Amino acid sequence: MTARLRFRKLVSAVMLSLTGVCAFVAVSVLFFILGYLAFHGGRSLNWDFFTKLPTPVGEAGGGMANAIVGSAKLLLLASLVGVPIGFFGGIYLAEFGRRGAGFVVRYAADLLNGVPSIVIGIFAYALLVLPLKHFSTMAGAFALGVMMIPITLRSTEEFLRSVPRSLREGAMALGASKWRTIVTVIVPAAYRGILTAILLALARVAGETAPLLFTAFNNRFWSPGWRQPTASLPVMIFTYAVAPYDDWHRQAWAAGLVLLGLVLVVNIIARLVLARGISVPRA
Amino acid sequence: MNATAKQPISMNISALPGATTREMLADQPMRMTISKLNFWYGPKQTLFDVTLGFAANHITAMIGPSGCGKSTLLRTLNRMYEAVSNARLEGEIQLDGQSILTQDVTQLRRRVGMVFQRPNPFPKSIFDNVAYGPRINGHNQPLAEVVESSLRRAALWEEVKDQLHKSAYELSGGQQQRLCIARALAVEPEVLLLDEPCSALDPISTAKIEELLVQLKELCTIVTVTHNMQQAARVSDFTAFLLTGVMVEYNPTPQLFTTPSDPRTEAYITGRFG
């Protein structure tokens, strides 16, 4: 009996240490990346980085103002493509498409989520760049927007489904039509989860490089409007990091830090939004 | 369950045996009537030839053991059963002499309100919860007035008048249930259905709601489902006893609980099963 008990305690101790070590490794990888990036990026980051254009090769200094604005424009337009389609599609899946067509859409969305981002880049290239004979912000944003669709769609569906059935019944029993119930009760009850999912989808595509390589391409100057090739932070990081100049490497670190800061800000905003308003208590 | 319990019983309200108490069912004007109602979930029949009427401005309680079909019966009265995809109904249900089955369902639910087993306030403020019905149905009176009068009728106004814009979830369970009653009353229903409204509440909250129901019958006709026989005896004027989808007995409450006319009713109320 005591031998058995000792064995159990041993197993317990081993498993506890194993899970603990794994959890520690997972977190420390993140902190290592963060620390390394903050260290190198912080050294190279200055006001010029946010306000100036890239300098010609060999000339020190300059910044990535055009890439920061370019990334912002890409994300804005990508949201206009991805969020409405994902959001309304998610409503359809959760409320109307329980089987049949719903199954097909759900399956297609999961597949789309698994498509390598570079393939989505090629898709946007074939669809927008070739016919217009021009790399453009539009094409890049379209590629990013397509990537946002399945994430937004599936999480909207999940959050809508998690709204308790009793709330639907409550609204219907007061004479609300199905559509009215969705608009006035179900979506408001789920909006915070949905908003978080949208912001996370945005953060996810903010760092995508591959779909931009042959859609938005790159630009060392300002890109006016939506039909010109544009610089973006991820592509700049890629270009600068593989270049043979120390000054460019430093700038790439700074760009990495800015991109990370951007994602962090988005996450903090998401948290702040979540902390406000009335949420449905978990059963 | 014995074999006779499965036999459908056809009830003629005017011919109920032993209706001798002061308030006899046959003399009452009926707000809603159900006749020859059969109900199926998929292949499974859950109600058999149920016929009964709900007397205007009275409280009717439906009692019976779990799974006897009392909640299903209640949910036919505002057609909430339609949310279940494979539900099927045969028979006739009338509200003020008109069939509810052919009416516009949102109009019907405006006239026949419902309060559920567990309090289900919306994730909105107390005010917005009560104002929900008037808002979606369109209302001529100022909203603030409707909200106040509804909360007063639900005996909740004094407790919440200073915190109307707080979340409904900050209220206690009993207060939430009274809020749900206020929300239902705000659309001024003719009939109020209650599906075991106190089963998730403590005794004090239960007592408050029972007292409230008795006051509310001035305003509307009340149909309540309960598995609590004492509750049915305390608040209702008429009681229907259901067993395995069959209506066994429907009589004035004092009579049903003192001199039941069916041996199965007696067995149930004396606690021999259920």
Q: Is residue B46 part of a domain?
A: yes
Interface of B with A in 159-218 (CB under 8 A): 167-169, 180, 183-184, 187
8 Å CB contact of A174 and B83: no
Q: Which chain B residue's Cα is nearest to A98?
A: B85
Mean pLDDT for chain B? Answer: 89
Q: Is residue B220 part of a domain?
A: yes
CA distances from A208 to A199, A218, B32, B256 (A): 15, 14, 63, 73
8 Å CB contact of A175 and B187: yes
Nearest CB among B83, B120, B167 relative to A167 is that of: B120
Q: Which domain holds residue B248?
A: 29-122+190-269
Q: Is residue B157 part of a domain?
A: no
A103-111: list long-range contacts, CB under 8 Å, 24+ apart.
A106/A154, A106/A157, A109/A149, A109/A150, A109/A153, A109/A154, A110/A150, A110/A154
Q: How far apart are the first and last CA of chain B?
A: 11
Residue A229 has pLDDT above 60, yes or no: yes
8 Å CB contact of A170 and B83: no
8 Å CB contact of A180 and B136: yes
CA distances from B42 to A189, A202, B45, B121 (A): 31, 45, 8, 31
Distance CA(B88)–CA(B39), nearest Å, equals 6
Please report the pLDDT score of residue B84 as a whole number: 84
Q: Which chain A residue's Cα is nearest to B108?
A: A175
Q: How far apart are the first and last CA of chain A?
A: 41
Q: Is residue B179 part of a domain?
A: no
8 Å CB contact of A188 and B123: yes
Contact between A136 and A125 under an 8 Å Cβ cutoff? The reply is no
What contacts A235, CB < 8 A, 6 or more positions away? A67, A209, A212, A213, A216, A217, A218
Closest Cα partner for A87 from A9, A167, A152, A25? A152
User: Smallest CA–CA separation between B107 and chain A, in Å?
Assistant: 6
For residue A29, give the 3-state DSSP assignment: helix
Q: Which chain B residue's Cα is nearest to A170?
A: B120
Which regions of chain B are under pLDDT 70? 1-23, 274
B116 touches chain A (CB under 8 A): yes
| Interface probe, candidates A174, A183, A185, A279, chain B, greatest B C-beta count within 10 A | A174
The CATH architecture one would assign to domain A49-275 is: Orthogonal Bundle (1.10)
* Cβ-Cβ contacts under 8 Å, A281 against chain B: 169
Please report the pLDDT score of residue B23 as a whole number: 58
B140 touches chain A (CB under 8 A): no
Please report the pLDDT score of residue B46 as a whole number: 95
Nearest CB among A169, A180, A279 relative to B123 is that of: A279
Distance CA(B125)–CA(B35), nearest Å, equals 41
Please report the pLDDT score of residue B21 as a whole number: 45
Give A130-148 as a DSSP string. Answer: HHHTS--HHHHHHHHHHHH
Q: Count how many domains chain B has.
A: 1
B134 touches chain A (CB under 8 A): no
Point out which residues pair with B94 in neighbouring strands. Answer: B33, B99
Please report the pLDDT score of residue B2 as a whole number: 44
Nearest CB among B110, B118, B184 relative to A166 is that of: B118
8 Å CB contact of A170 and B122: yes
Mean pLDDT confidence for A136-153 = 96
Output the domain CATH number for residue B69: 3.40.50.300
Nearest CB among A170, A278, A281 relative to B116 is that of: A170
Query: Where residue A282 falls among pLDDT bands split at 50, 70, 90?
Result: low
Point out which residues pair with B192 in neighbouring strands. Answer: B113, B222
The single-letter code of the amino acid at B240 is A
The per-residue pLDDT for range B222-234, each reduced to its tens digit, is 999 998 899 999 9
Mean pLDDT confidence for A137-145 = 96
* Residue ranges covered by each domain of chain A: 2-44, 49-275
**Rounded to 5 degrees, what are φ and ψ at A50?**
-85, -20
What percent of chain A clears pLDDT 90, i.e. is strictly above it? 71
User: Smallest CA–CA separation between A172 and chain B, in Å?
Assistant: 8
8 Å CB contact of A174 and B109: yes
8 Å CB contact of A189 and B122: yes
Which structure tokens are listed for B223? 């149909």
What contacts B89, CB < 8 A, 6 or more positions away? B37, B38, B39, B40, B76, B81, B101
Please report the pLDDT score of residue B4 as a whole number: 42
Nearest CB among B80, B121, B184 relative to A172 is that of: B80
* Cβ-Cβ contacts under 8 Å, A173 against chain B: 78, 80, 109, 113-114, 116, 184
Determine which helix (DSSP H) or strand (DSSP E) holds B191, and give its type and residue range: strand B191-195
What percent of chain B clears pLDDT 90, i.e. is strictly above it? 79
Q: Is residue B60 part of a domain?
A: yes
The per-residue pLDDT for range B160-172, each reduced to its tens digit, is 999 999 999 999 9
Residue A101 has pLDDT above 90, yes or no: no
Q: Is residue B257 part of a domain?
A: yes
Which structure tokens are listed for A194? 């949905």
Q: Is residue B241 part of a domain?
A: yes
Distance CA(A70)–CA(B13), nearest Å, equals 78
Distance CA(A113)–CA(A192), nearest Å, equals 22
Mean pLDDT confidence for A71-78 = 95
* Cβ-Cβ contacts under 8 Å, B107 against chain A: 175
The per-residue pLDDT for range A174-223, each reduced to its tens digit, is 999 999 999 999 999 998 889 888 988 998 999 999 999 989 999 989 99
Closest Cα partner for A157 from A221, A127, A113, A217? A113
Distance CA(A29)–CA(A25), nearest Å, equals 6
| Helix residue ranges per DSSP H, chain B | 70-76, 105-111, 126-137, 143-153, 157-160, 173-185, 203-216, 229-235, 253-258, 263-269
CA distances from A47 to A36, A107, A206, A231 (A): 21, 47, 22, 19
User: Smallest CA–CA separation between B237 and chain A, in Å?
Assistant: 25
